[in-house]
Structure 1
Amino acid sequence: MSNILINKNKTILEALNRLNSIKDVSRLILFVEDDQQQVIGTLTDGDIRRALAQNKNIYETIDSVCNRSFTYIEQGYSFINLNEYRKKNLKILPVLNEKKQYVKLLDLDKIKAVLPLECMIMAGGRGKRLSPLTDKVPKPMLLLGDKPIIEHNIDRLISYGIQKIYISVKYLGEQIEEYFGDGSSKGISIEYVWEDKPLGTAGALSLVEKFDSSHVLLMNSDLFTNVDFQDLFLTLLESDAEMAVASTEYKVDIPYAVFETNGSYVKNFREKPSFIYQSNAGIYILERELIKEIPKNQFFDITDLMEKIVKEDRNLIYNPILGYWIDIGKPVDYEYAKNFIKHLEH
């Protein structure tokens, strides 16, 4: 992003040429630096138009026309609610260090949040129900649209500002590792946790030496969803809970009348009722300290930990997914997801 930085002594004409060269940013903007590389202002094409309307010469320096009253974020933040900035119609937020030097850019059209989370994606399963598709390809690497299932999840995590991802692998895991590498091609860090034996849906967490974030996001790799990770995280914080579970609605239709009884007497009945339950969607955010309760390198499901929290009368909450959610476990699910994504792309 060095092309968005410009010295204050450059001319308006040079700034115009620089603005025309900017790509992959939702708004054309330059950050004006002094000789100590401190960001002193911003410059847009609107600033230049206003300057020219005031008879400024295109060979004058931009020092006199840049906007010195600009919004920025200081490096070292833990969590920022970007919605507060969106309400102010801001699209670009620079991150500056303590010397007011440029660190990075937050493009609010491209990222949904900046969550202080590290993530583990569970991708070690065999996927037997999808055989023969998974005989030579691990289930997370099955294509959905133009990219693997797991890549849809990784890209969504990136859009929420998550920069460190662990992937637990076992069956044909070398294909996943070869495809993503260390994550640098996506601007993030990816590490692989190899399971020597099946460890369930949470056991691999115990193999990470140290998570740096105070909360950890855990999710299955075979999901296709537009879950709101920020809403899940905020619900966890607001509820003062140890773990939050994303949920999806599961509807049960009873094809008969259901009796309400007292002994053998029918006191009331409902004709063909439907019941809606909140069910586990395979996405969790938990306090880092909870990982200490997971036995080291042993088979352990996340539901075992959930059960332990509930039995000990500790706080476990759920948060409904309001968008779409598809668990790609069976061939019919995979076909549905492939057809569903065609509609999303159009």
Structure 2
Amino acid sequence: MDSINECLINETADIRDTIRAIESGKKGIAVVVDHCGTLQGVVTDGDVRRGLLAGQKLKDSVTAIMNRRPTKADVCSSQASIIELLEQSGLEALPLVNEQNCVVDIALLSAIRRHSDPGQATGFSSALIMAGGEGRRLLPLTENLPKPLVEVGGMPLIERQVRRIAHAGVNRIYVAVNYLAEMIESHLGDGSRFGVEIHYLREPKKLGTAGSLSLITEKLDGPLLLMNGDVFTSINFQYLLDFHSKHQPLITVAAIDYHVEIPYGVIKTEGPFAICLEEKPSQQFLCNAGIYALSPEAVSRVPPNQIFNMTDLIESGLSQKDGVAVFPVHEYWSDIGTHAELDKARSELKIVRETLGDLEESDEIAVHIELNHRRAA
């Protein structure tokens, strides 16, 4: 039985602490208990993101978003009954309690299934990294180097993306290339050293930010993960997939929380008269993070051999009810599009590695959890 201490929090915790528990516990759930260990409620990653969409802040109490009547099971229950309860409830995890309602363990559906059927796997059908841009804002660095090969923490950005996608269980990765394509192909190869298949989509002409989707000839048997080649993020792709699968939209758009601080007093008027003065207010927006989950139908809507952008595809989804879902990103995210953003990402990654000490080259999960902690702090 794995230790569940990292998943447990009390009612004095805030949403920031809850995110840490969900990530550190690696079970997709935080369990709220009192000082005796008695179950008070649970919080999933979906609860967190719904709370953020509703306007909750990271400093707000966990009680604002927790489920006070969670699905639970007796610790003595059989695996078959626990699986049935999880499947009927549409849950990935639930707390196991004793006769005193104290939390003893957490049942994880994927872990139970792996134990009973090691070959079973779920996830995105494939992924696509858009790596054809010229990276003009990073000149002169990108004069003879494609932007996806710019190093962050001693590793090319696109290699970080491939490794994270592979770690998420996606076996087939498409890479759309154009500018200095041969350098990207030479570095990544066929993907075998990352444990995946990499297939290159070579545009005969510039097709826009979504046009290369039409170059995928294989039939997709599930959602496609798409991300821009200049994104450095520790987003949990499984949570994105779970969110997309639950809501069943045409497109799920990952969105970052962006604040704009206005350095002046803002005057609100009614006719010629002032009715309110708000001193140095801030505005909050959800902005496109350049990461998407696309249904096979969405991919089929991209016309062949013509310029087509993601904004066109999103507009197509907006034209139908529930066509576009928004997945708020509370994890670390950076758009490596400018020298300032590149320097910032390199600096933050350096601090994280110094904090964690010596790590194996492949042990990136600890790095991404620490990046998330810094993002939430």
Q: TM-score category by the smaller chain?
A: 0.5 to 0.7
Q: After superposition, what is the alpha-carbon deviation per residue over 1:149-186, rounded to whole angstroms, capped at 9, x for unaligned?
A: 01111111111111110000011111111111111111
1:227 maps onto 2:227 in alignment: no
1:257 maps onto 2:261 in alignment: no
* Aligned equivalent of 2:221: 213
Q: Look at both structures and tell me which one has the larger radius of gyration over its CA atoms.
A: 1
TM-score normalised per structure 2: 0.63
State which of 163, 180, 201 in structure 1 corresponds to 2:209: 201
Long gaps (5+) in structure 1: 1-68, 74-79, 97-101, 107-113
Q: Partner of 1:210: helix, strand, or coil?
A: coil
* Aligned equivalent of 1:191: 199
1:269 maps onto 2:288 in alignment: no
* Aligned equivalent of 2:337: 329
8 A contact 1:243–1:317 mirrored in 2: yes
State which of 134, 150, 160 in structure 2 corresponds to 1:142: 150
* Aligned equivalent of 1:132: 140
Q: After superposition, what is the alpha-carbon deviation per residue over 1:188-209, rounded to whole angstroms, capped at 9, x for unaligned?
A: 1110000122222111001111
CA distance in 2 between partners of 1:87 and 1:158 (Å): 26
| Further displaced range: 313-322 or 136-145 | 313-322
8 A contact 2:134–2:142 mirrored in 1: yes
CA distance in 1 between partners of 2:149 and 2:93 (Å): 33
CA distance in 1 between partners of 2:196 and 2:251 (Å): 25
Q: After superposition, what is the alpha-carbon deviation per residue over 1:38-73, rounded to whole angstroms, capped at 9, x for unaligned?
A: xxxxxxxxxxxxxxxxxxxxxxxxxxxxxxx999x9
1:88 deviates by 4.1
Q: CA RMSD in A?
A: 2.7
Q: 1:91 to 1:215 in 2, by over 3 A?
A: closer
CA distance in 1 between partners of 2:249 and 2:213 (Å): 19
> How many equivalent residue pairs?
258
1:340 maps onto 2:348 in alignment: yes
Q: 1:262 to 1:333 in 2, by over 3 A?
A: same
Partner amino acid, structure 2, of 1:278: L
1:248 maps onto 2:267 in alignment: no
1:123 maps onto 2:121 in alignment: no
Long gaps (5+) in structure 2: 1-77, 84-89, 96-104, 357-377
1:152 maps onto 2:160 in alignment: yes
* Aligned equivalent of 1:87: 106
1:93 deviates by 3.6
Give the 5 Å matches for 1:164-183: 164-183=172-191
Q: 1:237 to 1:307 in 2, by over 3 A?
A: same
Q: 1:273 to 1:265 in 2, by over 3 A?
A: same
